[in-house]
Amino acid sequence: MHLVSLALSPGWVLASLNVQEPAPPEPGVEEQIQSLREANELQRNKIEQLERLLDRDGNLASARIESERQDEPARTMSGEEHAHGAEDSLWSSDLGFANLRMLHVSLDLLMAAGTSTEENDSIEQLEGGAHDPKRRGFTLQNAELSLLGSVDPYFDVETYIVLTLDPESGETEVELEEAFAKTRQLSGNLDLEVGHIFSEFGVINPLHPHQWEFVDQPVVNTRLLGPDGARALGFRVGWLAPLPFESHLHVGMQNADQEQMSSFLGSFEHGHEEGEGGLDEGLGGRPLVDRDESDLGDFVYLARWASSFQADQAWSTTLGLSFLHGPNASGEDGRTTIYGTDLMVEWKPDPSKPRGAVWQTEIMKREWYADHFFSAEDESDPTDDVVLDDDLLLDFGLYSQVLYFVDEHWSTGLRYEVASGEGDGTEVAREDDPFRDDRTRISPLIAWRPSEFTRIRLQYNYDRADHLEHDDAHSFWLGVEFLIGSHGSHAH
């Protein structure tokens, strides 16, 4: 009877063993747990939306490595993770407190073939970009070797080496396109790049050719920022503003006398030739002088602001403003200022599918102030003196393009361009200058990506330019890209 009574009295047993029954949950705890779960889900959705922006929006400077360059692993490791290495490293070695890691090595081969109603000499002026198709037949736009490594918990290093073939001689040319170190983590939402870098101006200029959607570079970029893009040794500081939307500010300082800074002291590179009397002629036929950087006013200074706004899950908008200022080679007081604004509107109805569209526009203006010029070729004969008053040459233009991504393999697009200017040069009237005349270009495009490592593009260009003998030109270009290595897939 005692055993039965004991078995039927579990509360007595628990009491005798000094074991307490679990207390009922406090009121509101379950509601708090559910609220936290919902907040976590909202946060996760927001992170996914921002990641989609970084994957697709080349205008956000914070995404230069993650998405614009399309070739760095997406995550940033903590110091502890760095010390122990990472699974995605190609090579890793401990050295003191640091762990050197090679994150990726890749080779991107970009080629074009086509024809035009213009001869090869004229094509080189129509397609003024350094990586544009340059002739009837075949062009090696570039073969880019990219290396990305982690130095320590504080810095990554990126290097891009480009090989091209001279369109006339066929000789191999090698150039260091970019080589810089970038901080992994700085306080105050700051980041720093130092080295040989593209100027953070607009959308297209910071991108490498394999990141362009179209086969060639926009005309306004070639004219104002140079055939190879504005880039030089220097530094750039970026700051992510603590706002409820993505907003970045960049400031920088770079050498003005490198050949890629063609609107500044690198004027000898673009539109340059030897004029009468042995004088070097630059923009508008203005004489150029050999001018060195002597003080802080003789460098190129950059400022850029870009903000992205998410209207809803399907629509996002990015607005940017850019500014470059520095000396030019027209004289000691020659100065150049370039302004730019850009707009990108993206539509992606279903984040889980590649279908969507992007409208992208850039508008630019250059103020090239030419200094007063005097040259006495023969002191005994004043009639041989060259005397030019100061002058202001204005150049401006835009491109606007729409791209529609049908699926992960097919896309189509259309680009419209216009470029013009004010002020004639000393020797060449603006309408006869292929680098300053009135230009219009319309380019439809269709692209096929059989895989994330191969891309084939067919593009038609209708060009209308004052300097052309028949005013207009028709060109067809087939672009092919092959990627080898751990380079990331192309962003849509």
How would residue 48 be classed by pLDDT, with cut points 50, 70 and 90? Answer: low
Asked whether the predicted pLDDT for residue 45 surpasses 70, the reply is: no
How much is the pTM?
Answer: 0.78
Asked whether the predicted pLDDT for residue 457 surpasses 70, the reply is: yes
Q: Which domains does the chain have, with CATH numbers?
A: 39-485 (2.40.160.10)
Q: What is the pLDDT of residue 39?
A: 74
* CA 236/CA 231 separation, integer angstroms: 12
Least confident segment among 289-293, 416-420, 474-478: 289-293
* CA 125/CA 467 separation, integer angstroms: 10
Average pLDDT over residues 453-478: 96
How would residue 55 be classed by pLDDT, with cut points 50, 70 and 90? Answer: very low
- Residue from 489, 490, 486 nearest 103 by CA: 486
Asked whether the predicted pLDDT for residue 291 surpasses 50, the reply is: yes
Q: What is the pLDDT of residue 382?
A: 57
Asked whether the predicted pLDDT for residue 472 surpasses 50, the reply is: yes
Q: What is the pLDDT of residue 3?
A: 40
The pLDDT tens digits for 370-388 are 998 887 765 665 566 778 8
How would residue 220 be classed by pLDDT, with cut points 50, 70 and 90? Answer: very high
Residue 404's identity, in one-letter code, is: Y
Q: What is the pLDDT of residue 387?
A: 81
Tokens of 360: 């992208």
The pLDDT tens digits for 62-90 are 343 334 334 333 333 333 344 334 445 56
How would residue 183 be classed by pLDDT, with cut points 50, 70 and 90? Answer: very high
Average pLDDT over residues 254-263: 93
Average pLDDT, the chain: 82
435, 128 in Cβ contact below 8 A? Answer: yes
Q: Which residue has the higher pLDDT, 471 or 428?
A: 471
Q: What is the pLDDT of residue 317?
A: 97
Q: What is the pLDDT of residue 276?
A: 45
Q: What is the pLDDT of residue 288?
A: 87
46 Rama sector, left if φ>0, alpha if ψ -120 to 50, beta otherwise: alpha
* CA 381/CA 232 separation, integer angstroms: 42
* Nearby residues of 244 by Cβ (< 8 Å), 6 or more positions away: none
Asked whether the predicted pLDDT for residue 442 surpasses 70, the reply is: yes
117, 170 in Cβ contact below 8 A? Answer: no
Least confident segment among 19-33, 176-190, 274-288: 19-33
